[in-house]
C-alpha cells in the first residue's frame, strides 16, 4: 500500500501557519507582508498563475500589488518598474511572471531584482546562496518539494535520488538541494536530462525519483523500483470527454500503474502544484520579517 503525498492538504496547513503569523504581526502593529507581481502580456496560463498567487495573498492576509504591462512594453520600461519596486520600502517581495516576450531579456530583468526581494529565488545571488547552503529564498517549486519530503518524514540521507529534467526552476535546484548536507538532503544524486542514455535503467535505481521533464505519462511502472518515492512535478491538460471542462490534469508519471509500486507518490493534481504557491507566500513572509537578509 502506498502513501499519497497530499500537497493540497499540506499547502493549506502552511497557509494557515502563515495566516496565524500575519495575524500576530497585525496585533503587534508590525509590517504586513506585501508581494508585488509583474505580469507582461495576455498569456492565459500566466494570468491564471498570477491570479492564483494574488488570491492566496488575500487568503493569508498579505497585501499585494499586481502590475500589468502590455506585451509590447519596452525592456527599459519594465526595468524601470522593477527599479521602482526595488526602491519601494512598502513592498517586501517581487515576482516577474515568466515567460516574458521575446524582445525582453529574462537575464537582465532577473538580475535587476534586488536579492532581498527576490522571493522566487531566481536571481544569481540567491541561486548561488542556495548552492552554498547559505540562508536564501529557495525557488518555490523545489522549496515545496523539500517541504513535502520533510513533513511526510521521507528519509533521504544516503538514498539514491534521480532527478529527471535540468531546468533552472525545478530540476537543477532540486539536484543541488537533495545533495546538500541538510535534512532533507544528503542524498546521492543523479541529474538526468534529454541527452541521458538509458534513462529507464537509471530511473529504476532510484530510491527517490523526482520527475520534471514536461511530458505527460513519461514515467511508466517498468522505470520505477519497488518501494520508491516518486515526486511528479509535471502538469498537463489532456482532453477528457467525461469531464465537464473537456480536459483533465495529468503529470509526467503514469500514476495508476506507477503508484502501486511506490512507498509514496505525489498525485497530479493535488501534489507538488499547490505547494508552489504556499512556498512563495512563505518566502514573502521571510522577506517581510527580514529573516534572510538582515539589515
With CB under 6 A as the contact rule, the residue among 31, 180, 193, 248 that binds ligand NAD is 193
Among 183, 104, 179, 97, smallest CA distance to 140 is for 97
With CB under 6 A as the contact rule, the residue among 121, 165, 185, 267 that binds ligand NAD is 165
Query: Is 153 an annotated catalytic residue?
Result: no
Catalytic residue among 97, 117, 159, 207: 97
Distance CA 177, CA 128 (A): 12
Among 106, 88, 210, smallest CA distance to 160 is for 210
Cis peptide before 158 (omega within 30 of 0): no
182 lines the binding site for ligand NAD (CB under 6 A) = no
Distance CA 242, CA 77 (A): 46
Catalytic residue among 92, 120, 207, 252: 120
- Considering the complex, state which of residue 4 and residue 196 has its C-beta at the smaller distance from ligand NAD: 196
> Residue 99 Cβ, how far from ligand NAD at the closest point, in Å?
10
- Considering the complex, state which of residue 116 and residue 118 has its C-beta at the smaller distance from ligand NAD: 118
Which range, of 109-117, 152-160, 186-194, 287-295, touches ligand NAD by CB under 6 A?
Answer: 186-194
Query: Is 97 an annotated catalytic residue?
Result: yes
Retrieve residue 278's grid coordinates. Answer: 504556499
167 lines the binding site for ligand NAD (CB under 6 A) = yes
264 three-class SS? strand
199 lines the binding site for ligand NAD (CB under 6 A) = yes
Number of neighbours of residue 244 by Cβ within 10 angstroms: 6
Distance CA 257, CA 91 (A): 46
269 lines the binding site for ligand NAD (CB under 6 A) = no
Which distant-in-sequence residues (6+ apart) come within 8 Å of 275 by Cβ?
7, 10, 11, 14, 141, 143, 144, 145, 147, 148
> Residue 168 Cβ, how far from ligand NAD at the closest point, in Å?
7
- Asked if 248 contacts 238 with a C-beta cutoff of 8 angstroms, the reply is yes
Which range, of 103-111, 192-200, 253-261, 284-292, touches ligand NAD by CB under 6 A?
Answer: 192-200
Q: Which of residues 10-49 bind ligand NAD (CB under 6 A)?
A: none
104 lines the binding site for ligand NAD (CB under 6 A) = no
Which range, of 82-90, 126-134, 190-198, 222-230, touches ligand NAD by CB under 6 A?
Answer: 190-198
Distance CA 219, CA 229 (A): 13
Q: What angle do CA 94, 103, 78 make, to 5 degrees?
A: 30
With CB under 6 A as the contact rule, the residue among 272, 280, 286, 287 that binds ligand NAD is 272
**Residues tagged active-site:** 53, 97, 120
* Residues at the contact surface with ligand NAD, assessed by CB under 6 A: 141, 164-167, 169-171, 192-194, 196, 199, 212-214, 233-236, 272-273, 276
Amino acid at each position: 500500500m502506498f502513501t499519497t503525498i497530499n500537497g493540497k492538504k499540506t499547502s493549506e496547513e502552511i497557509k494557515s501557519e502563515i495566516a496565524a503569523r500575519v495575524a500576530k504581526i497585525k496585533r503587534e502593529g508590525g509590517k504586513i507582508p506585501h508581494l508585488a507581481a509583474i505580469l507582461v502580456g495576455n498569456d492565459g496560463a500566466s494570468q491564471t498563475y498570477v491570479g492564483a498567487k494574488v488570491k492566496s495573498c488575500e487568503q493569508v492576509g498579505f497585501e499585494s500589488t499586481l502590475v500589468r504591462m502590455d506585451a509590447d512594453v519596452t525592456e527599459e520600461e519594465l526595468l524601470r518598474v522593477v527599479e521602482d519596486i526595488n526602491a519601494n520600502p512598502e513592498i517586501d517581495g517581487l515576482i516577474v511572471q515568466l515567460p516574458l516576450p521575446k524582445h525582453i531579456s529574462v537575464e537582465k530583468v532577473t538580475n535587476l531584482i534586488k536579492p532581498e526581494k527576490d522571493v522566487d529565488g531566481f536571481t544569481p545571488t540567491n541561486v548561488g546562496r542556495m548552492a552554498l547552503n547559505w540562508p536564501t529564498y529557495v525557488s518555490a517549486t523545489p522549496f515545496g518539494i523539500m517541504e513535502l519530503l520533510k513533513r511526510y518524514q521521507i528519509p533521504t540521507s544516503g538514498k539514491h535520488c534521480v532527478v529527471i529534467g535540468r531546468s533552472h526552476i525545478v530540476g537543477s535546484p532540486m539536484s543541488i538541494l537533495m545533495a546538500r548536507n541538510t535534512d532533507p538532503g544528503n542524498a546521492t544524486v543523479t541529474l538526468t536530462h534529454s541527452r541521458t542514455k538509458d534513462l529507464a535503467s537509471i530511473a529504476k535505481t532510484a530510491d527517490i525519483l523526482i520527475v520534471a521533464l514536461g511530458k505527460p505519462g513519461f514515467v511508466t511502472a517498468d522505470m520505477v523500483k519497488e518501494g520508491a518515492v516518486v515526486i511528479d512535478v509535471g502538469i498537463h491538460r489532456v482532453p477528457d470527454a467525461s469531464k465537464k471542462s473537456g480536459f483533465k490534469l495529468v503529470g509526467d508519471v503514469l500514476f495508476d500503474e506507477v503508484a502501486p509500486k511506490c512507498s509514496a507518490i505525489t498525485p497530479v493534481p493535488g501534489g507538488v502544484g499547490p505547494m508552489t504557491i504556499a512556498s512563495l507566500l512563505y518566502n514573502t513572509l521571510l522577506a517581510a520579517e527580514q529573516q534572510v537578509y538582515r539589515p
